[in-house]
Copies of this chain bind each other. A is one copy, B any other.
Amino acid sequence: MQKLDLIVNDLRKDGYRITPQRVAIIDYILNTESHPTAESLHEVIQKKHPMVSLATVYKTLDLLKKKGIVQELRLAGGSRYDANVGRHVNLVCVNCGKIEDVDYDLLEEIENKVARKSKYDIVGSKFELYGYCSNCQKAGIAK
């Protein structure tokens, strides 16, 4: 069974409606490695599905974020979205915005290794954990 179908079934089970817009967006983001912005995603999808507005793209991406289907990378020039939600390292060019995925072993060695392998001039790195702090868990907000 396709990954798309699994996600669609999951959403349906949760009571979400399966619209052509949502399917098109999910399908596209599952099958690209381009880390699109909301706007570039909208442009590409409109070619096949003229009936998709930018607002719907944003709303759908919000839904997919909540469901853990996509990850949002907040970068200069707007957020980019990534269906690869497993633990992974993104190599971001702070000049042109290009993003590449990188395999790695241990944190301690990553930076040097990556610099050597990629020919990137590394100017910084960041490992961030996202979650709900204990206060917010108690309050049960917006989860």
- Which residues of A are in contact with B by a Cβ distance under 8 Å? 68, 71, 73-76, 85, 87, 89-96, 98, 102, 104, 106-108, 110-111, 114-115, 118-137, 141-143
Could you say how many copies of this chain the assembly holds? 2
Q: Is the interface of A mostly helix, strand, loop or mixed?
A: mixed
A–B complex contacts, Cβ < 8 Å, 28 sampled: A71-B124, A73-B128, A74-B74, A74-B75, A89-B129, A90-B129, A91-B129, A92-B128, A92-B130, A94-B130, A95-B133, A95-B142, A95-B143, A96-B133, A104-B107, A110-B129, A118-B131, A118-B134, A119-B133, A120-B132, A120-B133, A122-B130, A122-B131, A123-B132, A124-B129, A125-B127, A126-B127, A128-B128
Q: Are B129 and A120 in contact (CB under 8 A)?
A: yes
Q: What's the minimum C-beta distance from A57 to chain B, rounded to whole angstroms?
A: 17
Give the 3 A-B residue pairs with the shortest CB-CB distance, closest first. A127-B127, A107-B107, A74-B74
Q: Are A122 and B129 in contact (CB under 8 A)?
A: yes
Which of chain B's residues has its CB closest to A78's CB?
B74
Q: Chain B residues near A123 (CB, 8 Å)?
A: 68, 130-132
Which of chain B's residues has its CB closest to A122's CB?
B131
